[in-house]
Amino acid sequence: DAGVTQSPTHLIKTRGQQVTLRCSPKSGHDTVSWYQQALGQGPQFIFQYYEEEERQRGNFPDRFSGHQFPNYSSELNVNALLLGDSALYLCASSLVAGSGEQYFGPGTRLTVT
Amino acid sequence: AQSVTQLGSHVSVSEGALVLLRCNYSSSVPPYLFWYVQYPNQGLQLLLKYTSAATLVKGINGFEAEFKKSETSFHLTKPSAHMSDAAEYFCAVRSSFNYGQNFVFGPGTRLSVLP
């Protein structure tokens, strides 16, 4: 049973560019959440997708957008990259009717230069 | 609004010693509480969760945590530390299991285990 997978593993971008990160949830899960983890800090909630709609959003600007596909996989897009966007981006999946825990992928390390 | 504080950004223990990692939460409704562990260059792995059943929760790798409502605490313990326990530990709170209810994580505690 495959867990949560994310791609790519690492990414280097230049300020002002755009980036797309991808996530496949754990088999059977229908909800995907995205988190940003800056170095030395806890994960910060970006947004959550269920039934292909954004259900809740954290305190992140509109430069951060996402999408969920019919197969429950998800993308995180970040436009006009800033140096401060450098972080580990974590995807977590869960079951809306489940017991509440989220399962995390290994993350994508984004470096903005 | 929910929040989580973890006292001690870095805790060092000797191998075989008791591990105690502190977590205090703030929530306007009865919370659901979680502990996650993160090894270097990896994602987060669930250690245990509190979902309003028994107040003493047992998790994987010999860890357990006790929910104390009067102290708004959910401290993580392990009787005997092992070298493999060295990692970053995060406490998280969630107000309900309804979709749209996100997790709020604490800043984390780095556990070092000395030989």
Give the distance from CA B38 to its chain's centroid. Answer: 11
Q: Which two tokens stand for residue B46?
A: 């669930």
Reported as a single tens digit per residue, the pLDDT across B37-88 is: 999 888 899 999 988 778 899 999 999 999 998 999 999 999 999 999 999 9
Q: Quick check: B94 pLDDT over 70?
A: yes
Residue A43 to residue B97, Cβ atoms within 8 A: no
> Per-residue DSSP letters for B83-111?
GGG-EEEEEEEES-SSTT---EE---EEE
To the nearest whole Å, the CA of B44 is away from the closest chain A CA by: 6
Residue B103 binned pLDDT confidence (cut-offs 50, 70, 90): confident
B43 or A85, higher pLDDT: A85
Tell me the torsion sign for CA atoms A66, A88, B95, A74. positive
Say yes or no for a CB contact (<8 Å) between A101 and B43: no
pLDDT, tens digit (0-9, with 9 covering 90-100), for A13-71? 999 999 999 999 999 899 999 999 999 899 999 999 999 999 888 889 999 999 999 99
A15 part of contact set with chain B, CB < 8 Å:
no
Q: What is the mean pLDDT of chain B?
A: 90
Q: Name the band, by pLDDT with cuts 50, 70 and 90, for residue A99.
A: low
Say what the pLDDT of residue B27 is.
77
* Position B36 pLDDT exceeds 60: yes
Is B102 in contact with A105 (Cβ distance < 8 A)?
Answer: no
Tokens describing residue A63 = 């430069």
